[in-house]
Structure formats: structure tokens, C-alpha cells
Amino acid sequence: MKKLWLTQLLLFFITTSFALSPAEDPESFYANQDEDKPLKIFDTEGSGYMQIVLVRHGEPDLKKNGWRSRKELDAFYQAYDSAHIVPFTTSPIDTASFRLHKVYHSNLSRASHTAQLIFGDTYTLVSDSRFREFERKAAAIPLLKLPTFLSKGISRGLWMAGLNDGGIENFKKARQRVRSNASFLEEEARQNGTALLVAHGMHNHYLAKYLEEEDWEIVAEPGDGDYLSVIVLVKRTTTNNIP
């Protein structure tokens, strides 16, 4: 009888200790990863967190340097939007580390191709134009040709200032679209624990910014905004419908 009582007491302490041990939080989970390996995704089940993962597309497979006229720059933009990406050897995401119902991605070729290469047929891929990059066009610069990086920068800067947005989505409307996307992805994360999007540099930058305004926290940012970079945001939740 005494041995039985001691055994039951020992089991009680063991199970209580495990129950009281705090689960690893998302920040610690991501901080402890090897930067040279694909990013493992935090499992939100029972954690009290929801999560949004933003992936930038891979490098488009086309010539990006050189000097271009306004007409040539517009042609470059069209080619850029229809280009596939350069195949990569290491995926930015460890797809075996998490469960997802679906992966959202921009309808532009570089994003859809990236999503296909990373996730293949494992997940349902959902293409949506709402996640496209901020629109752009070549500015009427009074010179024959400029280096592509310079004419792109000038054209984008004038667009942001409202001086180069005729016939395309302006900066204000683009930001409104991204705010709406932030709300959409938050609801997806609330329902499913994790929402994942493959999109674009400026789009993801502003999306993360607007999510932070809604108390989301960036806990991982491997890649520093370059091609195939990732932004992971988490937020505490009190809902009980996360799987």
C-alpha cells in the first residue's frame, strides 16, 4: 500500500511539472533556429498565439541591369511582371514543420512561381490579385536613357508623390488595399492559427507595418527584405477556435 501511494505521488508530481512547464513562445522558437537552414514555422496549436507568415518572391529570371529609355523601362516592367523566378536550391520555409489549409499568393508570375516551387502540390495554392505589388510605370524623364536602377527609383518616388500615377493605382489606394489585406489575413490566422502569403517587397513591408499597428509583433525576419525573405508576425489571441 505504501509503495502504491508513493508511486501515485511521484506520478502526480511528474504530470504536474509538465503541466506547469511553460510552452516555448514564438520569439524563443524563432531565435533558436539555424539561419542557414529553411525556417521552421511555429506550431500555434494550444499556444495562445496566432501567426502570419509573409514570404517575398524569388529573384525574377530576366536581365535587370543596363540603361533604358522610358519606353524600354515600361517594357521592362511588363517583362518583370510576367517573369518566372531563378530556381533556388534552399527553400526559405521548412514545409514539413507546420500544417496549413492553404497558401495565398499574388497573381503575378514571380509570386505564383515562387509559391509553386516552395509548396508544390502539398497545399492548396490560392492566387489573388489583391496581393499584387504596388503598381508602377516609367516616368517621363527628360533624358534619353538612364541606368535602370536610377530610372526605377525616380519613377517610384514620383508615383509615391502622386506625380506619376496616371492610369494606374495610386499610392493612397495601394495602401488602402494592403490595409484590407491585413484585416483579411488576420481573420485567416484567427480561424486557422497560421496564415501564409507569398507576395512582394513593398506590399509585404506595408502589410507588416499595418499589422504592427494592430498589435502584431515581428518575431522573425530572415533575409532582410531580399528575394525569398520572410517576415513572421504573431499576436496573442483569446479565441478558442484555433486548431
- pLDDT single digits (tens) 136-191: 999 988 778 999 999 999 999 999 999 999 999 999 999 999 999 999 999 999 99
Q: For residue 42, give the nearest of 32, 30, 58 by alpha carbon.
A: 30
180 is a domain residue: yes
> Which domain covers residue 215, as residue numbers?
23-61+88-132+169-236
Q: Spell out a b/e string for 101-122, using b for 16 or more CB atoms within 10 Å of the CB, else e.
A: eebbbbebbbbbbbbbbbbeee
Amino acid in position 100 = L
Instruction: Measure the CA–CA gap between 90 and 228, rounded to whole angstroms.
Output: 10
Scanning the structure block, which residue is given the C-alpha cell 534619353?
A: 144
**Helix, coil or strand: residue 8:** helix
Number of separate domains in the chain: 1
Q: What integer pLDDT is reported at residue 56 of this predicted model?
A: 99
Work out whether strand 217-220 and strand 230-236 pair parallel, antiparallel, or are unpaired. antiparallel
38 is a domain residue: yes
Q: With cut-offs at 50, 70 and 90, classify the pLDDT of residue 61.
A: very high
Distances in Å between the alpha carbon of 83 and those of 100, 107, 183, 192, 205? 27, 12, 29, 32, 22
* Prediction pTM value: 0.87
140 is a domain residue: no
Burial class (CB in 10 A: 0-12, 13-18, 19+), 238: exposed
57 is a domain residue: yes
CATH code of the domain in which 208 resides: 3.40.50.1240
93 is a domain residue: yes
220 is a domain residue: yes
7 is a domain residue: no
**Helix, coil or strand: residue 22:** coil
| Helix 109-119, helix 70-82: angle, nearest 10 | 30
Q: Compute the average pLDDT of residues 185-214.
A: 98
Q: What integer pLDDT is reported at residue 97 of this predicted model?
A: 80
Q: For residue 196, give the nearest of 41, 58, 36 by alpha carbon.
A: 41
Q: Compute the average pLDDT of residues 131-138.
A: 97
Q: Spell out a b/e string for 208-234, using b for 16 or more CB atoms within 10 Å of the CB, else e.
A: bebbeeeebebbbebbeeebbbbbbbb
Instruction: Measure the CA–CA gap between 143 and 43, rounded to whole angstroms.
Output: 54
154 is a domain residue: no
Q: What integer pLDDT is reported at residue 170 of this predicted model?
A: 98
- pLDDT single digits (tens) 7-21: 444 444 444 333 333
Scanning the structure block, which residue is given the C-alpha cell 527553400?
A: 91
